[in-house]
Amino acid sequence: MALFRFPRKNEGGATGSTDMAAFLQGFSIEVMPRTAEKIDDFRALLPAGTRVYIAHIDGTPIDDMVATAARLRAEGFEPMPHFPARIIADRPMLADWIARYRGEADVRQALLLAGGIDRAQGAFHSSMQLLESGAFDGFERLHVAGHPEGNRDIDPDGSDRLVMEALRWKQAFAQRTDAQMALATQFCFEPRPVIDWANRLQAEGIALPIHIGVAGPAKLQTLIKFAISCGVGPSLKVLQKRAMDVSKLLLPFEPDSFVGALAAHKAGNPGFGIEAVHFFPLGGIRPTTDWTQRNGQRPMRAAA
């Protein structure tokens, strides 16, 4: 059985181990085929049934994606591959991907997003087009992207007008599909903008549950590099402030403060829109799963 430590008091507010553990239940984690290859057996790291997103970076062969999904399914996890619209050439390619995922890995869940490239390589350029295609009919769960700090790829002027229009469209789609839907967000580092964004969505009538992105433990330099490349906005100042403290510069950055603040807020506001935590293991899969175990993850099961 894993040994758990109580979360410490932090800048975002104090939270007890019960709040943190409750907030972390049902968390998900993201891998790529090449990072998954470094793990001998995920059953030694994750609770049974954990949802594992499989990031599809442009250039990754579909064979590698499907093989990773099949392996995760065989080990008792719920694979959720990415479907980046802009790297999908046409409907036959999309149909082939889905057929392979479902036939070889029993994939029932998917994350639909525009993708990390500027221009579409084929027929699709947005997650909304993928949803409208009908190709995902029969999936049990579909996630789409959420942007707590805005998205300048969609709204170059810094407003969130087009982002909000897209969310309203996705909310309407969620009401006419049998699939469970949720928003999976980019990683953030500051709780207040996330809380304000989640509250605003509720006020706007957007009831899609939020799976909040959290960066797992990593070197500060690594997080700053990823934050800049991924367009993380206002909360980048949290990392920049820490970088100015020489005594902390070489220490791993851990998400205690951010997750602790959100856990405390959720405990005090049960209707708060964040439903689950989604980890980006930027410093490695093992450091992230070690952190979840220290902070209240269910005990691991022994590998078969």
What are the residues facing 10 on neighbouring strands? 13
Return the CATH number at 64: 3.20.20.220
User: Does residue 271 sit within a domain?
Assistant: yes
Q: What pLDDT, on the 0 to 100 scale, is given for residue 33?
A: 98
pTM for the model stands at 0.86
Burial of 194 (0-12, 13-18, 19+ CB in 10 A): buried
User: Does residue 303 sit within a domain?
Assistant: no
User: Does residue 185 sit within a domain?
Assistant: yes
Report the C-alpha dihedral over residues 226, 230, 235, 238, rounded to 10 degrees.
Answer: 10
111 within 8 A of 129, measured Cβ to Cβ: no
Burial 101-123 (b: 16+ CB within 10 A, else e): beeebebbbbbbbbbbeeebbee
Could you read off the pLDDT tens digit of each residue along the chain, which spans 304 residues?
A: 232 233 343 333 334 478 999 999 999 999 999 999 999 999 999 999 999 999 999 999 999 999 999 999 999 999 999 999 999 999 999 999 999 999 999 999 999 999 877 788 889 999 999 999 999 999 999 999 998 876 555 545 555 778 889 999 999 999 999 999 999 998 888 899 999 999 999 999 999 999 999 999 988 777 777 666 555 555 556 665 655 554 455 567 899 999 999 999 999 999 999 999 999 999 999 999 999 999 876 544 444 4
User: Does residue 266 sit within a domain?
Assistant: yes
Structural domain count, the chain: 1
Specify the long-range contacts of residues 47-51, CB closer than 8 Å, at least 24 apart: 47/297, 47/298, 47/300, 47/301, 48/76, 48/77, 48/301, 49/76, 49/77, 49/78, 50/77, 50/78, 51/26, 51/77, 51/78, 51/80, 51/109
User: Does residue 214 sit within a domain?
Assistant: yes
Residue carrying structure tokens 């930027």 = 282
User: Does residue 302 sit within a domain?
Assistant: no
Residue carrying structure tokens 């968390």 = 27
**The one-letter amino acid at 210:** I
**The one-letter amino acid at 225:** K
User: Does residue 137 sit within a domain?
Assistant: yes
Number of alpha helices (DSSP H) and beta strands (DSSP E) in the chain: 12, 8
In degrees, rounded to 5, the angle at the alpha carbon of residue 210 between the alpha carbons of residues 205 and 215 is 145
Domain residue limits at 250? 17-294
Which residues make Cβ contacts (< 8 Å) with residue 152, sequence separation at least 6?
Answer: 158, 231
Rounded CA separation 59/46 (Å): 28
Q: What pLDDT, on the 0 to 100 scale, is given for residue 282?
A: 92
**The one-letter amino acid at 191:** P
Burial of 139 (0-12, 13-18, 19+ CB in 10 A): buried
Q: What pLDDT, on the 0 to 100 scale, is given for residue 252?
A: 75
Burial 50-75 (b: 16+ CB within 10 A, else e): bbbbbbbeeebeeebbbbbbbbbbeb
Ranges of H-type helices in the chain = 17-24, 33-36, 62-74, 91-105, 127-132, 161-174, 191-203, 220-229, 236-243, 246-249, 256-268, 285-294
User: Does residue 97 sit within a domain?
Assistant: yes
